[in-house]
Amino acid sequence: MIRAENIFKRFGQQEVLKGITTTFEAGKTNLVIGKSGSGKTVLLKVLVGLFKPEKGRVLFGDTDMVTADKDTMRRLRMEVGMLFQGNALFDSMTIEENVRFPLDMFTHQTLKEKTDRVNYCLERVSLEGVNKKFPSEISGGMQKRVGIARAIVLNPKYLFCDEPNSGLDPKTSITIDDLISGITKDNNITTVINTHDMNSVMEIGENIILLEKGELAWQGHKNEVLHDHNKIMHDFIFASPFLQKLIDQVQHKI
């Protein structure tokens, strides 16, 4: 479980996060949603310790990431996996080397043990036979899956995904969502996903956190989305004219 308490973050004069307090639960897919510029990515970077907030605490269990010294933070980060929006795969390394990198750096396993683990993780994300390829030789969806494989190779307790579906077609997006959701359940990971994708919200949103202008505007389960009348949430989730028409038609039939 991760708990963010009263997080304030500003860049110059611009206050980006204004007192966010929320809990990201273990074994659940926690989705952070909101308009562009609402502070989602900043919140994610504060959670993983890439940005230091002006005020507030980020508790990973009992450890406060904000006040932790560098060694504690490094230890804690070994329990964290992250999938970046641009994948952040190392171009000069093969897929196998990319996924193996955390194992090479932090474990003293034999090459065989590491290769077995890499193969297991690649199989887990349904990627086989790409070990020797370079990131530039595979598709965007496959790169995302490699990113996920690398993020889970050290068996993390916490998984962060920044816009995992950006640039992917709807079908591949669903595959990625299912994958992340499955890994979360199987390993009881605390997963935080930053997304714009409404399919993800309705499919895997077990704990949805809506940000609006740096503040927490709404929080709830995907099942509550259709019944709750929070205006900000409705305006955001049903912003698409297609969805709006669909809802109008359903209501008309009822």
Partner 1 sequence: MNLNLVYHFGNFILWQKQIYKRPENNRMYYKETIRQMYDIGVGSLPIVFLISIFIGAVTSVQFYYQMSGTMIPMYYIGYIVRDMTIIELAPTITCLVLAGKVGSNMAAELGGMRQKEHIDAMEIMGVNTSAYLIMPKVIAALLMIPVLVCASALIGILGAYLASVPTGLFTSADFIKGVRSFFVPYNVFMMLVKAFVFAYILTSVSCYQGYFVKGGSIELGEASTRAVVYSNILILLADYVIALVLTA
Q: Applying CB under 8 A, which residues contact partner 1?
A: 48-50, 74-78, 80-82, 84-86, 88, 90-91, 101-102, 104-106, 154, 160
Task: Select 85 or 230, whichever has its Cβ closest to partner 1.
Answer: 85
How many other CB atoms sit within 10 Å of the CB of residue 232? 16
Task: Select 51 or 238, whichever has its Cβ closest to partner 1.
Answer: 51
Six token digits for residue 33: 């949603």
3-class secondary-structure state, position 58: strand
Least separation in angstroms between CB 134 and partner 1: 14
Task: Select 105 or 254, whichever has its Cβ closest to partner 1.
Answer: 105
Task: Select 136 or 251, whichever has its Cβ closest to partner 1.
Answer: 136
The β-bridge relationship of strands 29-34 and 190-194 is parallel
Task: Select 90 or 120, whichever has its Cβ closest to partner 1.
Answer: 90
Taking the C-alpha atoms of residue 148 and residue 150, their distance in angstroms, rounded to an integer, is 5
Least separation in angstroms between CB 82 and partner 1: 5
Least separation in angstroms between CB 85 and partner 1: 8
The β-bridge relationship of strands 215-220 and 207-212 is antiparallel
Least separation in angstroms between CB 16 and partner 1: 16
Which amino acid is residue 140, in one-letter code?
G
CA proximity to 98, closest of 162, 145, 141, 158: 145
Task: Select 52 or 245, whichever has its Cβ closest to partner 1.
Answer: 52
Least separation in angstroms between CB 45 and partner 1: 8
Buried b (16+ CB within 10 A) or exposed e, 18-27: bebebbbebe
Residue 254, Cβ density class (10 Å: 0-12 exposed, 13-18 middle, ≥19 buried): exposed
Q: H or E stretch including 178?
A: helix 170-187
Least separation in angstroms between CB 203 and partner 1: 26
